[in-house]
Structure 1
Amino acid sequence: MHILDVLALFILLAGVFIYLNTYYLKLPSSVGLMILSLGLSVALFVLEYLIPEFKSGTERVLADYEYHDVLFQIVLNFMLFAGALQIDFRKLKEEKTPVLILAICGVFISTALIGFGVFYLLGWLGIEMDILYCLMFGALISPTDPIAVTSTIKKFRLSENLETRISGESLINDGVAVVLALTILDLAHAGETHTLNLFDIIWIFGTDIMGGVVLGLFLGYTGYRVLLYIDNDEVEVEILMTLALVMAGTQLAEFMHVSSKQAVVIMGLILGNEGRGSKVTSATGDYVFKFWKLMEESFNAMLFVLIGLEMLIIPWRSDYFAAGFFAFNIVLFSRWLSVFLPIKAMGTYRSFEKNTVAILAWGGLRGGIPIALSLSLPEFHGKEAIVTMTYIVVVCSVLYQGLTVPKLLKTTFPRRR
């Protein structure tokens, strides 16, 4: 099977998933896609039982094509750029500070709590894993799904401030968590060759994050200046320019050995904010933003298809699955604490609505970003455990939280008419 055939199959299944959910299931996007993904997994297991050659063929397809590189270099970067592009700091207004504190501090608190919690959990289950890989898992599972959050809260009459805090925090924590996870991964790889000292840690953080920021600022500003000269009607040129910008930024970052994820997030923030200014609005209009929103949702659907296929080849170990179910509870508690502590600290000088902590904690569904990041990780001791735990946590989060968060909102806020 040619790689284009594999890609076409993913796109076809993603389109079928979206169609079935939109017209039949009529559930929130992430919930519907996850149910269909589980259905795909069951169907594949039945085919595997009926046709023994089916499993070997699927394994060969997934092994022959380095989709991990595609996920890491293209899908993740495209999704992060699309998410950053949607962040309009002008809309955040006075909520800018609490949103940034919740997103940044929340991710660091969640990473530490999940990382150490999972480290001791795995030790109790007899699974060996380095503490840095556990912290990396804590970072990669911390980002919440902005698509699921936004689609849910729009159905209820939340105050404008609370809605801004929820959607803004969800959009920003994606980039923060991914960059932190990949930086910890670099530290873990460096620690395998020699003992890390403080200088090594500072150097890795500095080159990864600051290098990506500098590259993102340069390319983002360059792209913004180029968009100023594009004719208002040349929508296709504007879209191609943003595509070229993301691809060029990815390749340059890899060449310079800096974080491409940080670079595309910064580029998205610059174009998403400066590009909405009076000089550029007529040039980009809504077309560029709608295109990247479509890209984000399409990749999200394809990721749910991929995780359904991936379950055919990862080892079915009871200890890995047990770790996943226990990890889900750790993730829930860590999310609550990572929201509660910043809000408690900010509560001395800023007011928050009564159920803000509960809504932010329970509404923090996990989605495509953790799946893409876990599947794109390079091989290391413990990767299979991390992929399995990520799968279990995302499934439990999407189904359990996704189906119950509307009930929480319903008891707190009236439904929009």
Structure 2
Amino acid sequence: MDVVELGIGLECEEEDGASDVVLFTFFMLFIGLFTRHVLAKVPIPYTGLLLVAGIVLGLAGSITETGAREKEERRLEREAEAAANDTSRLIAPEEVEVPEGVGEVVGKEIEYELPKAYEHLGRGMDAWTNISPEVLLLVHLPALIFASGFSMDFHIFKRNFWQILILAGPGVGIGTIMTGAVGKYVFPYGWCWPKALMFGAMLSATDPVAVVALLKEVGASETLGTVIEGESLLNDGTAFVFFLVFRDLIRWTTSCNTGECNGADRIREGLQHLCKCRHPEFELLHEDDRADCEGVPTLEEDPDFKQPFTPVCTFPHRTAGGTFAFFVRMAIGAPLLGSAFGIAASLWINYVYNDLVVEVAITLVTAYLTYYTADDLVGVSGVLATVALGVTMAVMARPRLSPKAHEPMEVFWELMEYFANSTIFIYAGVKIAKKIYEVEVDVDDDAEEAQFIEKADWGLSLLLYLFLQIIRLVTILMMYPFMMLSGYAVDWKDVLVMTWGGLRGAVGLALALIVDLDEERIDPKFRALTIFYMGLIAAYTLLINGTSMGRFLDYLGVTKTKPEKLEVLLHVVKVGAVLCIGRSVVFQCHLCLPVALFFVHCHITI
């Protein structure tokens, strides 16, 4: 290959943009690493800092894009004016003295260039913001969900299973309905019920990773931590099923799919017919175009007319029975499929001994294959299937692991969870920033974008946060009598901790990103509001609830040792001391007592 061919190849590779995507991916991981290590002392949950970092990064990118767009508009205006007057003359670069490296001279204006690395990051960020929602979920959710399920303490999970199921089943349903009612009657957007309930389902998915870690750190009840984590694990799957059901209803509900011929809707395929028919110069349209507009009133005849929005992917009308069957298939078929994959993988691990790579790889491959098979091939919930897989393998596979594989397996899945959290929270922050920074454009100027996030929406986000705290408390109180019928006892302090620990995180953000990227089936205003509210609620719960949880636990006295546990501990210490003194006398073992006390310290949970 000669030099020319090599140069062409390099140029094509540079324009491809794949390297920019990789660059931005590792830049997000670097931000996550910096946050986890350098900012470890900051009393804010790690994921909350990542979300803030993503918002800052997105704002910086939006400001840069706006500046470049304004500069281009000024250049075009200059050229148009010069062409009209026919008096302009471009000054050659050599005619103007410019310090080396400052910029390029175009006409009479010096245009400063951004650093090349920043341009590559910007292109990578743009590519990430347009990623397919299916790819986004396939990459992130299996790692997040399987890691939680596989690390679950199965003994406590089994003992509290019915409590967890009550919160993650009927509890999520009640929370979805009440949150949907807020979206329907409190918000001023006039959402239809399927949209409002999908919004409620999205906000019902909790992510108490920071809370559970704090409970373990301060020595709180392991039972409480398992109930909170188990509820989060199962309610992610339940909320996802509700989300899919109501998303499916939006597609054929007429009241959910109305649109006007303006703003961002103008570029939507489903409204092109309406836009053409209601054009102010309708009489000047071609005869064939006017013939297609039969039944559609002109702008003068009915200014307020709205035509049902027809999605690009249309679906037949679904009856109530069909919707129920869809829900049952999702809720029952998915756990059965996940359990089957889990049993098969566990049996495979049983025949592997002291091969660390194979044992870890089996869990990784099975997690992603299970999600893909359930979601794409079988048509059931990939989230619920992965939940069932994680719990099944925690029961069957973890005891069968080789002795040297336990710790590396734990580290590997903790690393996978860190990667997924880093990318999805920063990515969500970037998307939120881009929605916030969208500028309002006059519709009459043939604009393709409109302003959807207004000042009032910020106040509504705080109101929504307060409603969500009340809704979670009411939901847990409604489920409390049923929770007392099984499992370990739950007192009023546990109820308050579970209420305040209902953080929103990765799964809710992933669902919001699905809505935001679903340009073919959901109108743009609802998409913008969805990612805006979900992102801010995640930020509020992480920065307020997550940051204050430590003091809240101290105030409730949850971290204090109960008298009965302290009495048992002292009894064990006394018995151990007596036995060790006797053994030291008989066997002259002077290290017996310190060893026994160390054993008690390590294995007794206060």
**Fold shared by both chains (TM-score > 0.5):** yes
- The question of whether the paired residues in 2 share the 8 Å contact of 1:121 and 1:323 is answered with no
Q: Which residue of 1 aligns with 2:17?
A: 2
- The question of whether the paired residues in 1 share the 8 Å contact of 2:175 and 2:471 is answered with yes
Q: Which residue of 2 aligns with 1:237?
A: 358
Distance 1:211 1:99, change over 3 A: closer
> Are 1:105 and 2:159 counterparts?
no
Q: Please point out which of 406, 410, 428 is paired with 1:307.
A: 428
Q: CA-to-partner distance for each residue in 1:22-81, whole Å, 9 max, x for gaps?
A: 323523322332343343344445544655587995785346x52423212221233222
- Return the letter of the residue paired with 1:85: F
Q: Which residue of 2 aligns with 1:386?
A: 530
SS of equivalent residue, structure 2 residue 370: helix
Number of residue-to-residue matches in the alignment? 411
> Are 1:145 and 2:198 counterparts?
no
- The question of whether the paired residues in 1 share the 8 Å contact of 2:24 and 2:124 is answered with no
Q: CA-to-partner distance for each residue in 1:383-404, whole Å, 9 max, x for gaps?
A: 2221111112111111122222
Q: Which residue of 2 aligns with 1:398?
A: 542
> Are 1:29 and 2:46 counterparts?
yes
- Return the letter of the residue paired with 1:317: I
- The question of whether the paired residues in 1 share the 8 Å contact of 2:338 and 2:385 is answered with yes
Q: CA-to-partner distance for each residue in 1:180-202, whole Å, 9 max, x for gaps?
A: 32233234335564554231112
Q: Please point out which of 171, 175, 184 is paired with 2:237.
A: 175
Q: CA-to-partner distance for each residue in 1:287-346, whole Å, 9 max, x for gaps?
A: 333322221222111112102221343255115444433322222211111222112443
Q: Please point out which of 292, 311, 317 is paired with 2:453.
A: 317
Q: Which residue of 2 aligns with 1:61?
A: 127
Distance 2:371 2:482 in 1: 37
- Return the letter of the residue paired with 2:350: L
- The question of whether the paired residues in 2 share the 8 Å contact of 1:99 and 1:165 is answered with yes
Q: Give the Å deviation of 1:10.
A: 2.6
Distance 2:125 2:227 in 1: 43
SS of equivalent residue, structure 1 residue 24: coil
Q: CA-to-partner distance for each residue in 1:223-279, whole Å, 9 max, x for gaps?
A: 111111122x222122222222233223322122222222222111211221123x3
Please say which structure displays the higher CA radius of gyration: 2
Q: Please point out which of 480, 483, 506 is paired with 1:368.
A: 506
Distance 2:142 2:408 in 1: 20
For structure 1, the 5+ residue unaligned runs are none
Q: Which residue of 1 aligns with 2:154?
A: 89
Distance 2:252 2:393 in 1: 34
RMSD of Structure 2 on Structure 1 (CA): 2.9
Q: Which residue of 2 aligns with 1:258?
A: 380
Q: Which residue of 2 aligns with 1:128?
A: 190
Distance 1:74 1:42, change over 3 A: closer
Distance 1:284 1:103, change over 3 A: farther
Distance 2:370 2:29 in 1: 27
SS of equivalent residue, structure 2 residue 251: helix
Distance 1:247 1:159, change over 3 A: closer
Distance 1:412 1:8 in 2: 46
Q: Give the Å deviation of 1:95.
A: 2.7
SS of equivalent residue, structure 1 residue 313: helix
> Are 1:289 and 2:306 counterparts?
no
Q: Please point out which of 322, 329, 343 is paired with 1:207.
A: 329
Distance 1:44 1:66 in 2: 17
Distance 1:269 1:186, change over 3 A: farther
Structure with the bigger RCO (C-alpha within 8 Å, sep 6+) is: 1
Distance 1:353 1:33 in 2: 34
Distance 1:290 1:270 in 2: 20
SS of equivalent residue, structure 2 residue 39: helix
Matches within 5 A, 1:175-194: 175-189=237-251, 191=253, 193-194=315-316
- The question of whether the paired residues in 2 share the 8 Å contact of 1:162 and 1:353 is answered with no
Q: Which residue of 1 aligns with 2:496?
A: 358
Shifted more, 345-354 versus 92-101: the winner is 345-354
Q: Give the Å deviation of 1:375.
A: 0.6
Q: Please point out which of 14, 30, 45 is paired with 2:29.
A: 14
Distance 2:180 2:469 in 1: 13
Distance 2:404 2:248 in 1: 40
Distance 1:187 1:356 in 2: 37
Distance 1:335 1:274, change over 3 A: same
Distance 1:320 1:347, change over 3 A: same
Q: Give the Å deviation of 1:141.
A: 1.5
- The question of whether the paired residues in 2 share the 8 Å contact of 1:375 and 1:387 is answered with yes
Shifted more, 315-324 versus 393-402: the winner is 315-324
> Are 1:115 and 2:180 counterparts?
yes
> Are 1:331 and 2:468 counterparts?
yes
Distance 1:256 1:24 in 2: 43
Distance 1:204 1:3, change over 3 A: farther
- Return the letter of the residue paired with 1:342: M
Distance 1:288 1:24, change over 3 A: closer
Matches within 5 A, 1:214-233: 214-231=336-353, 233=354
Q: Which residue of 1 aligns with 2:390?
A: 268
* Runs of 4+ with deviation above 6 angstroms: 53-56
Distance 2:368 2:36 in 1: 31
SS of equivalent residue, structure 1 residue 399: helix
For structure 2, the 5+ residue unaligned runs are 1-15, 72-118, 255-314, 439-451, 561-605
Distance 1:250 1:358 in 2: 34
- Return the letter of the residue paired with 1:164: T
Distance 1:246 1:161, change over 3 A: closer
Distance 2:507 2:396 in 1: 26
Distance 1:84 1:414, change over 3 A: closer
- The question of whether the paired residues in 2 share the 8 Å contact of 1:143 and 1:366 is answered with yes
Distance 1:3 1:135 in 2: 38
Using structure 1 for the length normalisation, give the TM-score: 0.87
Distance 1:237 1:348 in 2: 43
SS of equivalent residue, structure 1 residue 154: helix
